[in-house]
Amino acid sequence: MSHDPSRISVLIPQDKVEARLKELGEKISNDYAGKELCLVCVLKGGSYFMIELAKYITVPVTMDFMQVSSYGSATRSSGNIKIVKDVDEPMTDRHVLIVEDIIDSGRTLSCLEQLFKDRKPASLKIATLLDKPDRREVEVPVDYTGFTIPDAFVVGCGLDYAQNYRNLPYVGVVEFD
Ligand code: IMP
Ligand code: MG
């Protein structure tokens, strides 16, 4: 099935991404005023979003990273996730914001949400750069969404196709001939 993508068409241009990240950063700074925020990046896709977003957050921030992989097929995430790398610091009594690249079926974040809830943070919220609601199989409470997009396979701003294109400063749709 797999072919090389013939081209990538721009879905969300760089200036729109940057403007939205600034807006979200300002909103998060207001919402967490007087608090310290613990950003938890879901590797690898969430890295770009977390770093770019953090530039616009003015409350004190710490950063931690985790990596999960889903059991089963490579292109669809299954319900069960395996922790490849866990966060380094305890999350108890902290204000935790999980930062993801995209919510597709919702399975990854739904598992992560439960995992973090069990660790008794002071608060737990979820931020995603992109949301594909048409594909949702499991409901996830998303607190901050960059953009809602149609059901297409996208790359850039952290998102990959076979580990490529994560560095593109815009969101593009991969097109195959
Ligand atoms: P789900 O919400 O558990 O189905 O899985 C979301 C994960 O699937 C994301 O964190 C991405 O790694 C990956 N993913 C879903 N849609 C796309 C896409 O359009 N481009 C690149 N990765 C995607
Ligand atoms: Mg991901």
Q: Where are the domains of the chain?
A: 15-152
- Between the alpha carbon of residue 148 and those of residues 51, 60, 70, 117, 144, the distances in Å are 20, 28, 23, 25, 11
Atom 11 (ligand 1) nearest CA: 102
* CATH topology (fold) of 15-152: Rossmann fold (3.40.50)
Asked whether the bond before 44 is cis by omega within 30 degrees of 0, the reply is yes
Atom from ligand 1 closest to the CA of residue 110 = 3
Q: Is 143 a catalytic residue?
A: no
Quick: pLDDT tens for 27-36. 999 999 999 9
Contact 127, 144 (CB under 8 A): yes
Beta-bridge mates of residue 38: 62, 96
**CA–CA distance, 51 with 60 (Å, rounded to integer):** 14
Mean pLDDT over the full length of the chain = 92
Confidence bin at 1 (pLDDT 50/70/90): very low
What are the pLDDT digits (tens) for 75-134? 556 557 889 999 999 999 999 999 999 999 999 999 999 999 999 999 999 999 999 999
The answer to whether 147 touches 131, Cβ cutoff 8 Å, is yes
In this predicted structure, the answer to whether residue 161 has a pLDDT above a threshold of 70 is: yes
Tell me which of 9-18, 73-82, 93-102, 159-168 is least confident: 73-82
For residue 34, how far is its CA from the centre of ligand 2 (angstroms)? 30
For 80-93, give one letter per residue: b (16+ CB within 10 A) or e. Answer: ebeeeeebeeebee
Neighbours of ion ligand 2 (CB under 5 A): 45, 101
Q: Give the DSSP letter string of 163-176.
A: TB-TT-SSEEEEE-
Q: Tell me what percent of the residues of the chain surpass a pLDDT of 70.
A: 92
% of the chain surpassing 90 pLDDT: 85
